[in-house]
Amino acid sequence: MRHKLVVISLDALQTGDLDLLETLPYGSRWLKDAAIARNVHEIYPTLTYPIHTTLVTGVYPETHGIIHNQKASLAPDEPDFSLMGSDWYWEKKNIKVPTLADAVFADGRTVASVNWPVTGGEKRGFNCPEIWPVKSLCEDPREVYKNSASESVFDRYYDRYIAHYNWKNNNDLLTYGGEIAIDLIENEKPDLMLYHAVHLDHIRHVYGDLAPETVDCLKTLDILVERIFEASKRAGTFDETNFVILGDHGQIDIDNIFYINNAFRDAGLIRVNADGKPVSYDAYVFSAGFSAHVYLRDPEDQELTEKVGLILKGLQKAFPQYIERVYTKEEAAEQEHLSGGFSFVLEGTDRTILESQVNNGPYIQPKDERWFKGYGAMHGHHPDKGPKPPFIAFGPDVKKGVRLNGVSMLDLCPTMARLAGVTMEGLVGKPLPFFNEG
C-alpha cells in the first residue's frame, strides 16, 4: 500500500534547535521515535529557493535552474525588504526538471502545496504559492493570487484567509499558510502536502541566529506542527501518512556589510546619475547574502571578463578579511554545481555580507555602528559553513529511532519520493536508510 506524505519545511530550522524541541510538549513526542538525519549538508548557495527546489527535484541548481531566491538586477526594487530585491523566482515554469509534485500528479494522485517556493502558476491540485504583491508596482493582491494560485485554492481561501492582510507589511505572510494547510489536510486529504513555514527564518533574520526570540518561535512552531498532525487525525489519514519535518539552511550572525558595488563604481564598472543611483554597468555584484554573483554587460567579452577578474582578485587581496573566495563561472560549475548567467561568484568571509546596494558610504559598514539598520543574521553562504538543518521522518514506512549525521541534501528527494511511493528519474542522491523492511 502506498501511503500519503506530508512535508513540513520549517525555514531556518537548525539541528541545534532539536535540543529545545525535544523538551517541548509536542516535539518531545514525535522526535522520540522518529528517524533523524542531523546536520544535512546543503547546496550552494544556502538560499531558500534553490534549496527548496533541490528538495523536490533531487538535483543541483545547475540542473534545476533556480540559482538564487531572486532574479539579478543592477538596481532591484525594494532592497529594504531583503538584501537583494523583490523580483523573486516565484513561478514554477522557472524549474527546468520534473518535481516530486509532478511525479505524484503523473501517478494519478492528488497534491496540495502551501507557500512552497517556486510554485506560482501551478494550476493543478490545491496550490497556494509563496508570492506577494510588489509594493513599488502597486500590484493588486487579488490579481496576483488569482493568476498564481490554483482555482480551487483561490476560490476557497483568498477572501477567507488572505484578502484582509496588509501587504504593505509582508510579515503577514507568516500567518495564513498554516491555516490553509491544516484545512486542506483535513478536508481534501491530499496524497502529497508540501507546506513551507517561514516564521523561524524571519525571526533569525531580524534578531540574530540564537536570539531569545527564537525560543518563543520554536514553541509556536511546536504547536503548529501538532495542529497539522491533529488535522490528519480528524481526516482519518494519520496512520496512513508518512510525515517529514525538515529545515532548509541555518543562519549566521552578521558582523560586517561589504558594499562591494561601491568598489565597482569607483573602478568605473558602474555608472551613476547625479543622485548616485546606478544607471548602467559593465559589471555588477548581486548579493546572495554571504555570497554574491557577478554579472557582466557582455559575458562573451573576454577582455571585459579578464578585467573584472583582475579587479575582483585585487579586491580580495586588499580586503582578505571580507572576501574569502573568488570563483570563475567554470570553477563554480565544476566545484559547486552552480551555473547561470553570472561570470563570477564571490564568497564572503565568516559573518561578512556582500551587499548589492550602491551608496555614498564606506565600503565596509560594521554592524555595531549605532546607525546600522539591517538584519541580525543571514544565510546564502557556502554549505561548509554555519549551522546545518535536520531531516526528520516518521510514519508507517519509517524505521523508528534511526540516527544519521552529515548526510547530503541530494539524498532527501529520493527519500521523500520513496515515502510518497513514486519513482523519479535523474536523481543525484539515494534514499536514506530510513525504511522498514518488507
For residue 45, say if its preceding peptide bond is cis, omega within 30 degrees of 0: yes
Q: What is the DSSP string of 151-207?
A: HHHHHHHIIIIITTS-TTSGGGHHHHHHHHHHHHHHHH--SEEEEEE-HHHHHHHHH
Give the integer Cα–Cα distance in Å for 365 and 153: 45
pLDDT at residue 284, as a whole number: 97
Q: Look at residue 236 and tell me whether its pLDDT is greater than 50.
A: yes
Q: What is the mean pLDDT of residues 345-368?
A: 92
Sole residue written with cell 530585491: 85
Q: Look at residue 53 and tell me whether its pLDDT is greater than 70.
A: yes
Q: Look at residue 222 and tell me whether its pLDDT is greater than 70.
A: yes
| Beta pairing partners, 257 | 353, 365
Q: Which of 66-80, 95-109, 173-187, 406-420 has the lowest average pLDDT? A: 66-80
Q: What is the mean pLDDT of residues 146-172?
A: 87
Among candidate residues 177, 184, 148, 147, the one with its CA nearest the CA of residue 162: 177
pLDDT band at 81 (very low <50, low <70, confident <90, very high): very low
Q: Are 55 and 246 in contact (CB under 8 A)?
A: yes
Radius of gyration of the chain (CA): 22
pLDDT at residue 370, as a whole number: 56
The type of residue at 288 is A
Q: Which three three-digit cell numbers place residue 222?
A: 511546536
pLDDT at residue 85, as a whole number: 59
| pLDDT tens track for 369-401 | 655 667 899 999 999 999 999 999 999 999 999
pLDDT above 70 as % of the chain: 95
